[in-house]
Structure 1
């Protein structure tokens, strides 16, 4: 059985293009995440079938693979394998031309390594293949990445894997990406793009990172990154499967396999990287990334993987530019206030005076009157009675919230939980009909692998025979036991947070990071920076590189600086839009922007420019059909957020830079603002955002400029003359 498998690489690495064309592009999709991060929900339903903007996660992965030219997909499933198999058999993917989906079940595999060993034994992979997790979403084209992989294989047969990566600067305050994942450190050869070092949550302190000094000896040039995101999309040669078979200690894809290959000097296998720029790719690793990616879908960063394009059969309709999707047959009270950035599933009822903002509502839900739903995810067939409040929570199928009950930020209610009237569920609580397991799995990353059927086994105490329900006597007994926990008539158990984990709950929650945490950590980081600056001239110990160590040429450093400015601007815009959509207070936004400023080593003027750019972009995206309406949008946005902008304009020099930034915006990114330049400049002056001295000095600086750089000075000539005359009259 082993011989045919070893001959497979010859087919994929052939120099004959016609021979290559005859090998179908295959993919292995891991339907198990092999983690416990989505408990208690995943005790009852596999993660890949959890709804992401009202569509099961696996649908996004399969839709992308099909659009990217993959012809055969092997879906590996273990936990709740029957549910996954049944779903695939009844889905649209069973009848797609030139696209076959086959499920492979295993009730004994407890890791990704076990899964790939089983795939190898089945002998179903015959060439290069795409390896992806079922909780990954992307719209990237595979053409360039596949070609890079094949070209590298022709030059070096040891290049067995290409890892897809993209920029994602972590927050200096939390050492996390916006997806809630820990800070990732990579070392990459800038010429060959070979991965040389990979460390998640590395033990870095005061600006130093420990590396094997032989890494520096063996490579003439290295780029160090803490601003890369691992997309968990890999293009693999068949040897990858045999490597897992030959090394049974390879369990985790990154911690074991990738790091194992990086330190193996005997076989010489290599991992290369392929960086994507404009495309989208992300993995749902925790509740925070679930929230972030949901918002990205609604805001159409994932196009065409958006509700109205990808799944028109569910009849969602995009209503306006603020990202409101409403399915057919919903009943929406006239007094209800919905939007922006909402999705409402079919047959859902929303009562009078109810507010729904920045949230996703599933199918068949009944939402009463005077309800507040903010930043939350309400799945199918949920009943929320009058006067309830939900802020930044996840509510699974069949939940009942009785009148006046309230969910604090970060709450997760699993299937068919009942919250009693006027009961307040504490922040970050996880509530389930199943009691919390008394003994965790031996490996903290194991999913409920033994739950291949729809039963919960003896690893839970107070077990319920049917996760999706139970006998009336079972529920009656549970209801009586749960009264102290969830109020009168409540059903379910509040899981306790493990000792030492309470302070970490906010990192991976759907709730925004608490302001007090941002303040506390930002101060700590500033103290560390002060200490680091004191030691900056101290010699580095062996095997350590200071962050400002010159590894590449000066040109590369300048390019990196430009990249940093671009990514910083994008991060600030994302922060600003989140503040707008979630109505976050200005003081809290300033904390987040300060955190980004420290992370990217930017100045106040950079913050001001990025914020002003975000404000102008928002104004242009709001509904308007004439220049007059666009000007009103600008006035509305600036008036509301002027305190935020002015906090980064301490002096005249910063104000001049904002005017220069405004010119750039009008010429490049938001050209429809160009005719309104003078009006908006005058408005900023009236609002005391820009001073008379700054505007006049901007005019003076432009005096010796080329004619092409004086476009807006000439346009504003009447306003500038008025300023000069007014100044003379005052004198």
Structure 2
């Protein structure tokens, strides 16, 4: 049974990625120089999907303005989830836009084309879900499979003993919307794994065993891992200047700058003399890297400015961040507080959210999170969580 419509669930904020998601949804965060959602749509288009339906919500204008009415000549329909009441509720909003079987997946995970292709190939009208081996199912939801059929689905397992996860790629016919109507809500929310449970009670849910690239960015430091994986797999749209070094045609790299792959340099970016960029670095559109700058395992989003003589290691900088000369982000490991949890030994130097401004000579302790529009003064020593719009003077 052929599927030509892909529904992408892209309405959530991604609160655990704050402060980066205060101004845009998780799906629009950068991954190797492009928004995460672009990578997702590429896979769908490459697999032959002929119509895209994006369920949007939080900061939906950021998605709609970026993609417009189509992507790579495939038409896009936008559906607004006015309140983010769970992934099952998000899918329910797309019901009026469907006519026939659909492929459903999350818009905030970068996955291999093979995973989608396997689900499309394995769908025969019976609900189907991709499953794959993973070392830490406690983060994603565990499954057990019996002779190709889903036998157990645990949304939040308390151990990693299961070994297999729900990959978040599904194929359904129209009966899924009836199952959604019959699925009880939990605390006012309707979750897609609960809908899968309803379908299991109704009959069979096929488990499509697959493998390939599958990366979820749950926390800020995951964006660095995601970029490393994309670079390692060559998932870059710009020309390859040399081995594992991709540079957009409009970028300007000084002859005396050094690019140590894997590295990607986006359109209109500029790398000055004696800068050493890489390995595992993504320089975004229209970003500027000054002379004698060192970047390692670092992600610069569009319109960033890094002043001369700065060193950034294990760093994520959002859009329009300005970093003064001689700034030092020494890199992890670090203990990072996200909400009421502390994550130990994470490889994170610092996160600088959109439009943060850093004066020259500032130094960051590993694990620092700087909010949007915050200002760090010249020579300041920064640590911990700096709230949006705050000013650090020393």
- Scaled to the shorter chain, the TM-score interval is 0.7 to 0.9
Residue 297 of structure 1: how far off its partner (Å)? 0.9
1:295 and 2:260 are equivalent in the alignment: no
Stretches of structure 1 lacking an aligned partner (at least 5 in a row): 1-11, 13-19, 154-158, 171-176, 210-224, 434-481, 489-731
Per the alignment, residue 209 of structure 2 pairs with 275
Distance 1:139 1:40, change over 3 A: same
Per the alignment, residue 355 of structure 1 pairs with 294
1:103 and 2:36 are equivalent in the alignment: no
1:45 to 1, 21, 24: 24
Residue 197 of structure 1: how far off its partner (Å)? 1.3
Distance 1:202 1:365, change over 3 A: closer
Write 1 or 2 for the structure with the bigger share of strand.
2
Distance 1:406 1:252, change over 3 A: farther
Per the alignment, residue 308 of structure 1 pairs with 238
Tell me the distance in 1 between the aligned counterparts of 2:176 and 2:158. 29
Provide the secondary structure at the position in 2 that maps to 1:422. coil
Q: Would you say the 8 A contact 1:341–1:357 is kept in 2?
A: yes
Q: Would you say the 8 A contact 2:374–2:386 is kept in 1?
A: no
1:343 and 2:282 are equivalent in the alignment: yes
Provide the secondary structure at the position in 2 that maps to 1:37. helix
Q: Would you say the 8 A contact 1:336–1:352 is kept in 2?
A: yes
Per the alignment, residue 258 of structure 1 pairs with 196
Residue 103 of structure 1: how far off its partner (Å)? 0.7
1:432 to 352, 368, 388: 388
Counterparts of residues 107-122 of structure 1 (less than 5 Å):
107-120=82-95, 122=96
Distance 1:72 1:309, change over 3 A: farther
1:147 to 110, 118, 121: 121
Q: Would you say the 8 A contact 1:308–1:315 is kept in 2?
A: no
Residue 95 of structure 1: how far off its partner (Å)? 6.5
Provide the secondary structure at the position in 1 that maps to 2:225. helix
Distance 1:410 1:125, change over 3 A: same
Provide the secondary structure at the position in 2 that maps to 1:107. coil
1:233 to 169, 193, 199: 169
Q: Would you say the 8 A contact 1:308–1:316 is kept in 2?
A: no
Per the alignment, residue 186 of structure 1 pairs with 143
Provide the secondary structure at the position in 2 that maps to 1:43. coil
Per the alignment, residue 338 of structure 2 pairs with none
Q: Would you say the 8 A contact 1:316–1:325 is kept in 2?
A: no
Per the alignment, residue 369 of structure 1 pairs with 308
Q: Would you say the 8 A contact 1:377–1:394 is kept in 2?
A: yes
Distance 1:270 1:360, change over 3 A: same
Distance 1:320 1:273, change over 3 A: farther
Provide the secondary structure at the position in 2 that maps to 1:386. coil
Residue 166 of structure 1: how far off its partner (Å)? 1.9
1:163 and 2:136 are equivalent in the alignment: no
Residue 321 of structure 1: how far off its partner (Å)? 7.6
2:365 to 385, 408, 433: 408
Residue 74 of structure 1: how far off its partner (Å)? 0.8
Distance 1:129 1:309, change over 3 A: farther
Tell me the distance in 2 between the aligned counterparts of 1:200 and 1:246. 19
Q: Would you say the 8 A contact 1:73–1:101 is kept in 2?
A: yes
Distance 1:103 1:402, change over 3 A: same
Tell me the distance in 1 between the aligned counterparts of 2:66 and 2:218. 22
TM-score, normalised relative to structure 2: 0.81
Tell me the distance in 2 between the aligned counterparts of 1:164 and 1:75. 20
Counterparts of residues 577-726 of structure 1 (less than 5 Å):
none
Write 1 or 2 for the structure with the bigger share of helix.
1
Provide the secondary structure at the position in 2 that maps to 1:41. coil
Tell me the distance in 2 between the aligned counterparts of 1:43 and 1:354. 29
Provide the secondary structure at the position in 1 that maps to 2:207. strand
Q: Deviations over 1:485-506 (max 9, x none)?
A: x226xxxxxxxxxxxxxxxxxx
Counterparts of residues 214-229 of structure 1 (less than 5 Å):
226-229=162-165
Tell me the distance in 2 between the aligned counterparts of 1:308 and 1:230. 32
Residue 114 of structure 1: how far off its partner (Å)? 2.3
Provide the secondary structure at the position in 1 that maps to 2:238. helix
Tell me the distance in 1 between the aligned counterparts of 2:270 and 2:82. 44
1:134 and 2:107 are equivalent in the alignment: yes
Q: Would you say the 8 A contact 1:28–1:73 is kept in 2?
A: yes
Residue 274 of structure 1: how far off its partner (Å)? 1.3
Residue 59 of structure 1: how far off its partner (Å)? 1.0
Distance 1:296 1:368, change over 3 A: same
Q: Would you say the 8 A contact 2:247–2:265 is kept in 1?
A: no
Distance 1:136 1:102, change over 3 A: same
Per the alignment, residue 54 of structure 2 pairs with 75
Q: Deviations over 1:383-416 (max 9, x none)?
A: 1112212233222332211122222223333332
Distance 1:236 1:312, change over 3 A: farther
Per the alignment, residue 679 of structure 1 pairs with none
Provide the aligned length of Structure 1 versus Structure 2: 364
Distance 1:242 1:395, change over 3 A: same
Distance 1:413 1:227, change over 3 A: same
Tell me the distance in 2 between the aligned counterparts of 1:95 and 1:324. 26
Counterparts of residues 568-579 of structure 1 (less than 5 Å):
none
Provide the secondary structure at the position in 1 that maps to 2:15. coil
Stretches of structure 2 lacking an aligned partner (at least 5 in a row): 241-245, 332-347
Residue 292 of structure 1: how far off its partner (Å)? 1.7
1:202 and 2:163 are equivalent in the alignment: no
Distance 1:86 1:335, change over 3 A: closer
Please tell me whether Structure 1 or Structure 2 has the larger radius of gyration of its CA atoms: 1
